[in-house]
Amino acid sequence: MITMAFNCALLRTRSFVAVFTFVALWGFAFSITRYSIPEEMEEGSFVANLATDLGLDVRSLLERNAKLDVIHSKNYLDINKDTGELIIREKMDRESICMTKTTSCFLKMDVILSNPVRIFNIELEILDINDNAPVFRRKTMHLDVSETTPPGERFSLTNAVDADVGANSVKTYYLSESKYFSISIQTGSDGSKYVDLVLSGQLDREEHGLHNLILTAVDGGVPPRSGTASIIINVLDINDNAPTFSQSVFAVNVSENSPVGTVVMTLNATDLDEGTNAKLIYSYTLYTSEKTQELFSLDPNSGEIRVKAVIDYEESQSFEMHIQAQDRGVNPLSGHCKVMVFITDLNDNHPEVTIKSLKRSVAEDVSVGTLIAVVSVSDRDSGVNGEVDLILNQQEALPFLLNKSSQGYFELLVSKPLDREVKGKYDIKLIVTDRGFPALSENETITLEILDVNDNEPMFSQSFYTIHVVENNSPGALLTSLSAHDPDLNENQYLVYFIMEKEIVNISMSMLFSINPENGDLYGLKTFDYEREKEFLFHIEARDSGVPPLSSNVTVHIVILDQNDNTPLIVSPWRAHGSVVEEVIPRSTEKGLLVAKVVAIDADSDQNARVTYQLLQISDSTLFSLDQYNGEIRTTRMFSYRDPRQQRLVVVAKDNGQPALSATVTIKISTVELAMTFLETTELPLEYEVFTNLNLYLVIGLGAVSFLLLITILVIIVLKCQKPKPKAIKMPPANRNSLISQRSSTIADSTLISSDAYWYSLFLAETRKGKVVVRQPIIPKGAGYFVSSIPRSIGPSETSDSRASTLEVC
């Protein structure tokens, strides 16, 4: 068999190599095979090779259907029929298998083979390991020990048990450190260890009434295991301490007139004992007078002293009490003390305050130092209790002060300027306090009303008002409401509004605007036209009704906003109302020639005055183009013999307002041959000479030429009769696109600039004699304009303020 030391080593390494002892007993009827293994081996661990130990072939185990039959126990083992090994099937706990506390624990089983039947007896010894710690049957042990118990007294304790056996069982005990107790270990006949608690010192409950000890049991395993239990020792008391007071003499002050039931003091004696030995009873001794016992009561359980009757300082100023505290032990012990009660005088009279010469109201402009009231104070008490102090309530800063005029008299004066708009009423609280203890006080409140004076000017919420009004407004419409504020009261805050008179171009502001004098509503009295007046600047005054009245004014800026209420006016090419503009150009005109320029003006402003041009109708869209921004009409190609001699264009000028307004002009363009134009505009002197010796051919040639010349003159005369005369008054002046003659006249561009947002017409053309004609429509009086004519050479510049004129510059 393997030794115990070797088993312990196997336990420490936790190896699962089976240590076995093979004993073969051969006899006629049976044989026994024994093995030894430690408990708690893991599942699948190797125990022994049965095939080898039993002298069997490994194959025969399978062929002969080897079985393992465990006797009177659970099957913890199994046979590997492939290798012939005996292995652990389930962990084994020695303490569960062998309930009895014996050193040896065997598990008996049979290996049964068939064909032929053969039985092998096997005994498996399960060796103990230290897998259980000592355990006390009682985790906590209580002991009651009297403080009079002599040292050396022994007390039995519950011992610890260990499920392990042998060296792994309980080996010894240890006790936590204590100067009063120790332990004594005893060994039983079966080797069990027992322990006794031994008192080693004198106990004193008042010094240490409860002892907590820890008892530890340790087994002999490697490594050792341990278990603990708590020992609570309660030291029983004996009546060996007398009650004591914290002082031998107590002094206490009690005010006279203290109400019945007032606690004077509470006595608290202490007794170091416990239980009934510490319960105390308080009582008066024979040295306490009957008068004192009549005025003061003593509670026997709590030691509380209370006032029992009315105490009068004038009758007695002090009292003396002798009191004992006795415990309730079998042999009672007692302690004594003395209580001195001193009666203090009570400040039982309140001071008084009287108001004289009181003003209920003052104006806010009174001067500093004005007298408001005279105040007198008094107290019927004497000494310190009769001395009084008078103050103002300082919870808020008050513009007043108290001035002591004589003994017991004070003057209430104004200390700072008053302002009713800051505060219109003051509640002045006068507090008089005596110097007694506890101090008594009285108070009196004076209500002072501040009367208003007209010292504040009306104030507008803004210093400058800008009001936007859309033109074409309805006369009498509300424009805005101006509001001023006056913090004064009554008539001093009633405001009246005025428009401060101002003339603009001999027109008074009151003719243009009106203001409600009571509420400041501002109205427009006329319909405004942005094209005539764009803004107004005037002042409005707010005046209160005080005496003298105060006023302030504010600047009002009325801004007129434009509406799209003006239709564009076509000023070039100029034509009479409803008439058609005629333009004549040579038929040989090149591509890109400026035929005409449409100029339209709009009296509105900004987007409402932005004019664009479009072709509404055109006889041939391939001949002409129109620039939508500057209104220039130019040829897009040369004329062909197929093109009609007359072209008709309808141009619309539209502004950018909402909704948009527009105007149209119809232009009739006629084309002529260049030679005809030359004959029309050139006077050729005809001179005839008398030729001599004319031959027949010269006469025929001269006749033919004369005939052709006559026919040409007749055609020119017919065309001149159909063309408008350039000097006719009712005809429009020659346009910018006149015939191109041999003089190579240039076409001038025109620019119009208005200072009033009005546009005026400008039409420039060059006639056959080089005259410049300027026409303008009727414009408002006083409006100025600037006309600049800039030809490709050097052009003139003119300025005019006339209402309507025709200007010719030669």
* Residue 515 · residue 522 · CB < 8 Å: yes
Q: pLDDT digits over 191-219, tens only?
A: 788 888 999 888 888 888 889 999 999 98
What is the C-alpha to C-alpha distance for residues 68 and 515, in angstroms, rounded to an integer?
A: 126
pLDDT of 392 strictly over 70: yes
Burial (CB count <10 Å: 0-12, 13-18, 19+), residue 314:
exposed
Q: pLDDT digits over 525-547, tens only?
A: 888 888 888 889 999 999 998 88
Give me the phi and psi of 556, to 5 degrees please: -115, 130
Q: pLDDT digits over 77-96, tens only?
A: 888 888 888 888 888 877 77
Instruction: Describe the strand order of the beta sheet including 67-70 as a list of residue ranges.
Output: 32-38, 118-127, 106-113, 67-70
Q: Which of 254-258, 296-300, 752-756 has the lowest mean pLDDT?
A: 752-756
Give me the phi and psi of 568, to 5 degrees please: -55, 140
pLDDT of 6 strictly over 60: no
What is the C-alpha to C-alpha distance for residues 683 and 315, in angstroms, rounded to an integer?
A: 159
pLDDT of 785 strictly over 90: no
| pLDDT attached to residue 723 | 53
* pTM of the predicted structure, to 2 decimals: 0.40
Structure-block tokens of residue 788: 């600049």
More confident position, 33 or 433: 433
Verify cis geometry, omega within 30 degrees of 0, for the bond prior to 399: no
Angle at 589 between CA 588 and CA 594, to 5 degrees: 165
Burial (CB count <10 Å: 0-12, 13-18, 19+), residue 562:
buried
**Longest CA–CA separation in the chain, Å:** 201
Burial (CB count <10 Å: 0-12, 13-18, 19+), residue 713:
exposed
Residues near 173 by beta carbon (within 8 Å), at least 6 away in sequence? 160, 183, 185, 193, 195, 215, 216, 217, 218
Residues near 153 by beta carbon (within 8 Å), at least 6 away in sequence? 145, 198, 199
| pLDDT attached to residue 578 | 64
